[in-house]
Chain A
Amino acid sequence: MKELSLNILDITENSVKAGATLTEILIVEKGDTLTLTIKDDGCGMSDEILKTVENPFYTTRTTRKVGLGIPLLKMAAEMTGGQVKIVSSTKEIDHGTTVTALFYKNHLDFTPLGDVKETIVTLIQGHPDTDFLFTHQTTNGEIKLDTRELRQILEGVPLDTYEVIVWIKEYLNEQYLTVLDK
């Protein structure tokens, strides 16, 4: 993957496929670290599957929905001296999966974050019926988008309506500009 934002898109697609109603994407940049957390309330994975998702060679066609996504994220994190942790539960209450990846930004092999806005827009466009809570914290400030809030305003109008998608794109653009200007 050329950008971390593409890994984010890829891993979040797994959350949506796991039937998540809400997926939280949290990026925290602090000092020389970048921590990415993708937390969903999907069906979760059993301990057995959890053990195999990090190794691409254990992936068979039946577990193919996981595939190379996690190994690629793990590689990107470990190349910088960081790591990936996955916690998952299939319990009736509080089921879901949380993927946490730690990156060291100053490492030579750090993959640039890239266009996160485009990733968020792509996720909303492709999955207008599920919710995303996106938060990006930098030392300059915070960017936030909660589709549940937008949904409330839009009432019945779908989130993937072109006008809405354009609004979200411009809204995120402005938020990033404001934060970067500081």
Chain B
Amino acid sequence: MKSLAELQAIKDKMKDKVVIREGANSTRVVVGMATCGIAAGARPVLGAFVEAVNESGLAQSVTVSQTGCVGLCQYEPIVEVYEAGKEKVTYVKMTADKAKKVVEKHLKGGKVVVEYTVANCE
């Protein structure tokens, strides 16, 4: 059984790391979580990003957060990637599988997955 003692152990382990984590992040992944995004399937996309970013060891440099409607409801779920010194990349019609690919190729490999971007959308 999961116990509160386990949570205590997590706290003890993480306590020192928290300071390092703040400020070190240079890349932001933002998932649209308004009614339009949620209805189109943003929840599993967000979950996939959180999991994949942490599983690939990118937690120190990438934060995953949520935002409201960006006004392109027909292209939801929409994910925006902000990297320091680079132009914003907007991914549209995302799925959990596409999210994993974006983490692997773009966030880890440094190459934008062009076929998922808004520029490539009909």
Contact residues of A with B, CB < 8 Å? 1, 6, 9-10, 13, 17, 64-65, 67-69, 72, 118-119, 121-122, 125-127, 149-150, 153-158, 161-165, 167, 170-171, 174
Contact = CB atoms under 8 A, between A and B. Distances in A.
Contacts of A1: 38-39
A157 B11 contact: yes
A89 to B, nearest CB: 24
A127 B34 CA distance: 14
B11 A118 contact: no
Per DSSP, chain B at the interface is helix
Nearest to A1: B39
Interface residues of B, number: 30
Interface of B: 1-2, 4, 6-8, 10-11, 13-15, 18, 33-36, 38-39, 43-44, 46-47, 50, 54, 59, 64-66, 68-69
Given A125-B46, A156-B15, 4 more contacts: A6-B39, A118-B47, A163-B10, A167-B6
11 contacts: A13-B33, A118-B43, A122-B33, A125-B64, A149-B4, A155-B11, A157-B11, A157-B18, A161-B10, A163-B10, A170-B2
